[in-house]
Structure formats: C-alpha cells, structure tokens
Structure 1
Amino acid sequence: MHLTPEQKAFYDENGYVLIPGLFTPEEAAAYRAEVHAIDARQGETNATWASVKGDTAIAHSHDVHFKSGAFTRLLTDARLTGIAQDIIGPNVQLHHTKMFIKPPERGSPFPMHQDYPYFPHRDHSMIAVILHFDDAPEEKGCLCAYPGSHKLGPLPAEGADHHVSQTDFPFDGATTVPAKAGDAIFFNYLTVHGSGINRSDEARTTLLIQLRDPADPQLNNRHASRGQGMMLAGIDPTIGEFKFAWENGDA
C-alpha cells in the first residue's frame, strides 16, 4: 500500500493524513484483543499528563513489540511500511511503540503538543502512526490537529508535559480527525495535535508507532526504548565497519 498523489499532497500541506482501512476490521479486532490482554497482564496504569490530572485515566504501555509477537510482526507489515516510506524515504527505522486504552466515560485527554520536545531530531524526519483498533469518533476523544502547524517548526514547550501554548493553540480550535477500526493516521512530529476525553460508553484502543530516517540523528538521549533502531524497511546507511561486541566494550 502506498499514498495516492492526493494523499501525499494532503500530508505535505497539513502535516497529517488519515488512511482508511489500512487493516481489516477483523485484524483490528485481533490487535485490540492483544492490547487489552497486555493491559490485563501488566496491571493498572495511568499515563494521564500532570497538566490534566483529575478523575480521568488512560492505560498505557511502551515497547509492546516485546510483549506480544503480534506487534513484532505488525511493525514490518508492508501496508504500514509502504506508506511510511512514501513520507520518510526508502529507509524506515523504529524509534518506539506504545499502546493506549482510553476507558469509557473517563478516558484522559492529551493537551495540544508537538512530539518534537520529547525526542528532537536534526532533520525532523520523525513521524507517528496511530493505528485504531476500535472506532474513534469525536465523543471517544479522537485525534485533533492543527493543519499546517508542522510548517511552523519547533514551538516553545510549556509545563512538565511540554505542551504548546493553550492560548495560541486552544483545543476548540483544532480539527477533529475521527477514525474507524482499522484506520491509521500518519503525522509529522512537528504537527500540533492532542485528543479529547473519552465520554462514550466504549474504550478507545490505539497503538502509536514512532518512525524515522536512520540517517537523521536524535539531538538528545531521552526516550530511549527497547528495540530502538530496528530497521522496518530499507537499510541503515550509517552502519560502519563490523566489530564484535567485546571490541566495542559492550560485553
């Protein structure tokens, strides 16, 4: 699967693009079950940001490809990597994965933010993919974005959560991007985005995958994750002469 010329033009202009039906409803249901099984095994979590902490909650886990083989296989699915290559280029490298479950009636929101402050890169090749494993209408707290905001470059970050100015980018001013089970949203890590509270009577279940060009160095060492650097498509052109681990002082 690849982007159509219209989809690529929409992404370039707006900093995000919705891909309907990247996975079938049956595949989405199977992945949804895997996410909820991980959640059941790991126990209660709450990744609600400090700036919006209250009576809401959101279940969360990093590095899900180390917790279920289904997600290891998903990472190299040609439907996913083909579109990523259309955006990043021929070489696509994993940065990290994380899952989210917004519970019914009280699923936590995310204030408007860029992903840039958490893991800045020199050339801004970093993108995110949100895979939807159940429907995400507006009442479930779907993704909201400011179209074209990726063209502004890195913006000042505020607070412990590193969100953008809520005055300059109020939640009510963002464009909602509702999605169906099996849909995917690809977006630039400079795109200002967030999501609302899940007020519905059903959970909202997603997997987020961060991808980059391996030739684009990260500017700090924050947010290191297991499996970071795994090649999902193409090659890593930065690899130099082979040495055994003990020659590098790694063992």
Structure 2
Amino acid sequence: MSSTATATALRPTFAPINPTLQQLEGVAFARPRPRDLKFGLTADQIEFFWANGYVSLPGLFRHDEALAWQDAADRIYHDKLADPFNARYDFATVKDDQGKDTDEQILWKIDPFYDLDIVFRRAVFDRRILDALASIYGGREPRLFKDKLIYKPPHTHGNGLHQDYNWWQGYCTSLISVAVSIDPATEDNGCTVVYPRDPRDGYIGELGTFEHKIADAVDPAAAVKNIAKPGDVLLFHCFTPHEAGPNKTDHVRRQMFLTYNDSADGEHYFSHRDHYLEYYKQGHFSDEVRDKVYFE
C-alpha cells in the first residue's frame, strides 16, 4: 500500500457541521450509546425496580472485598480526622442510654470520600455497580453524581423519612443511589428502610420548597428493612421514600452511599459538590467562622 493510501485509510471520519439525522447514524459521539453489560440486571430485576423503586443485590461483592473496605474506612478515619472546618467531615452528637444528647462529638460521615483511598475509587467505578445501573438506564453508562461514607457510630442518629430528590431539586430525575454495606446492617443499628413505590409517580409534595412531610403518603406496613451483610447492595431511586433509625448498638455501621445519573442527562458531580459545600457552610457554621470552612 502506498503512503498516500495509508494516510487516507487512517484519516478519521468526522460528522458534517450541519448533519442530517441520516448522516448521524453510526457516529459514536452523537449520543450516549448502549453497551454490552457483563453484570447487567435480569429482566425481572429491572421490572421489579420500576414497580417498586428499589432492588436488592445480595452478595454482589465478596466478603474479602468488604474486609478491604473496612480497612480503608479505618485508614481514612484516622488519617483524615482532624479539622472540623474541612467540609468533608460531618460530626454527630453521641446519645446516652436514655437517648439524651451528651457532650461528645464523633465523626458521622465523610462526604465526599471516594478519592481518599484507591480501594474506594475501585468500588465506585466497579462494573458490577455500573452495569446494574446501565441496565436500568437502557444500556447507557451511569455517571457519578454524589458519594458519601456513613460511619454511623454507636448511639448516633439516623435519618427521617424522605425522598432524596428533596435535596437535589433542579437536577435530573434519573438519580439512583447505591447503598453498599461495609458492615452488617440490622434493625438495631439503623438499617435503611424503603417504602415500595413506582418512581415514575415522581416527587411527593411541592417542588421549590423543603417542606418535605411525606409520612401520610407511605404505608408503614409496606416498609422493607434492608437487613444486609457486608458486600450486599441496595439500589433505590431518588423518588423512593426511605429512612433509617438510630444506631442503638455498641458497634459502628458503615455503608457507602453512591449516587449516579444516566449519562444521557450529562455530568453533574462537581456542580453538585460545589453546591453542597455552600449549603453545608450556611447550615453548619456561624457568620463568625464561616470563612474558615474549606473543602480538601
């Protein structure tokens, strides 16, 4: 083959500046495209998710992988537990045996966290999670939206009944959270409780406000407790009502909460992180010290 022919063969093909729909067919970068999914959900699991707003994936990760997460959680807890003005770190008040507040403050979560240890970086982008989500997104790749590591130490609070979209109003509605158990999750240590609901029914309440009182919209008898072993995974939609009780035990209950969106809805990780930082500063610090708050 001549050098001219070789150069022609290697020359990339670009879409026209003003392409027609026919000309766009086959252009890989024209839109998010489905991919082959080695770890995709079954048709029954996808149908269950869209009917109930969640799906459980027990044993998605191995026990040895969960042990590695436990070690990593210990590392970043001790290495990074330092400055209360670093907005990554959220502290909670420890309660006594009667449920009353003590003077003790303890690290409750790191938000965000995945960039602090290679073990967590691998987990966040593991194909077992991404393929499961892509199954729900019609084969399109998910994009990370938010990540937090909840330590939930002994005798600390849980979270009241809510839909996650209450805090994410204005962002896309394809958001799905992935709860990955690092430690056993039980009713006593405040496991996540979901209330089955078709996510296509949308947001409960009035958008544009944080008056998110939804207890009357769920059936307490329908509650599903996510009793989980290390390595178990729960996927739930941003419109799925859920809550978690306090940790009444003497042991920590750690979980990764990873949220993704359909790649068809774009990239929102850094815009949301910056928004969260400002919200955190306003809600947790007085005017006198707010300028000291930073993110690192």
TM-score, with length taken from structure 2:
0.65
**Partner SS for 2:199:** helix
- The runs of 5 or more residues in structure 1 that have no matched partner are 227-251
SS in 1 for 2:179: strand
Q: C-alpha displacement at 1:146, in angstroms?
A: 1.0
Secondary structure of 1:185's aligned partner: strand
In the alignment, the residues of structure 2 paired with residue 48 and residue 170 of structure 1 have an alpha-carbon distance, to the nearest angstrom, of 30
Map 1:96-245; keep pairs closer than 5 Å: 96-104=146-154, 106-120=155-169, 124-148=173-197, 150-156=199-205, 163-169=212-218, 174-216=223-265, 223-224=272-273
Q: Deviations over 1:160-210 (max 9, x none)?
A: 976433344487763212111100001100101111111123211101111
Shift of 1:149: 5.3
Instruction: Determine which structure has greater relative contact order: mean sequence separation of CA pairs < 8 Å that are 6+ residues apart, divided by chain length.
Output: 1
Which has more helix, going by share of residues? Answer: 2
User: What is aligned with 2:51?
Assistant: 13
How far the C-alpha of 1:77 sits from its partner, in A, is 1.2
C-alpha displacement at 1:155, in angstroms? 1.7
Aligned Cα root-mean-square deviation (Å): 3.1
Judge conservation of contact 1:118–1:223 (CA < 8 Å) in 2. no
Contact 1:143–1:195 (8 Å) recurs in 2: yes
TM-score by length of 1: 0.76
Q: Determine which of 94, 101, 111 is the counterpart of 1:55.
A: 101
Measure the CA separation in 2 of the matches of 1:88 and 1:187: 13
Identical counterparts, % of pairs = 28
Question: Which residue of 118, 121, 135 maps to 1:69?
Answer: 118
Q: What is the aligned partner in structure 1 of residue 27 from structure 2?
A: none
Distance in 1, matches of 2:220 and 2:206, equals 16
Q: Distance in 2 between matches of 1:222 and 1:149?
A: 28
Structure 2: distance between partners of 1:182 and 1:68: 18
Question: Any gaps of 5 or more consecutive residues in structure 2?
Answer: 1-38, 94-98, 276-296
Bigger CA radius of gyration: 2
Alignment partners' CA distance in 2, 1:15 and 1:64: 26
Instruction: Give the total of aligned pairs.
Output: 220
CA 1:218–1:173 in 2, change beyond 3 Å: closer, same or farther?
farther
